[in-house]
Amino acid sequence: MKFDSMNISQHNITLKARRRGFHLITDEITRQLSDLHLFTAGLMHIFIRHTSASLTINENADPTVRDDFESFFNRTVVEDTSLYKHTLEGPDDMTSHIKSSLLGSSVSIPVTNGRLNLGTWQGIYLCEHRNNGGSRQLTVTIMGEKQR
């Protein structure tokens, strides 16, 4: 596909506060993008502006997948303050930073005909690694061709 012109749109989005865990946020993101429907082809880049939460794409149908992710990461990155120096904000402080680095701070998704071109069983997760993380800020950049 050849692009005749490149359009760029950028939005700052605030996600509602959630408890610790893995949460589907695909709909919450797309509801806040007033111009997504105008892009016929392109790429959406989503960046989380925090060091104790992360983003990933995975199973959107069975909620036990998200439970298993949380269980796996809690076993893999143990909350034991005797293991870390950076514990000022509690036992989930350094472990949240480690989990965030393992999963990453951004995802990129193709956009086709005004919609995210995700697979049938894919959704965007907010991976909240803090017990009380609060609301989270995302920067969403859409690049591509718009309808004429």
pTM of the complete model:
0.94
For domain 7-146, give the fold: Jelly Rolls (2.60.120)
* pLDDT on residue 2: 58
User: What is the edge-to-edge ordering of all strands in the sheet holding 21-24?
Assistant: 21-24, 122-128, 53-59
The domain spans of the chain are 7-146
| pLDDT, tens digit (0-9, with 9 covering 90-100), for 107-142 | 999 999 999 999 999 999 999 999 999 999 999 999
Closest CA to 38 of 11, 77, 73, 76: 11
Q: Which residue has the tokens 């990155």?
A: 77
| pLDDT, tens digit (0-9, with 9 covering 90-100), for 40-72 | 999 999 999 999 999 999 999 999 999 999 999
Cα 26 from Cα 55, distance rounded (Å): 11
pLDDT band at 106 (very low <50, low <70, confident <90, very high): very high
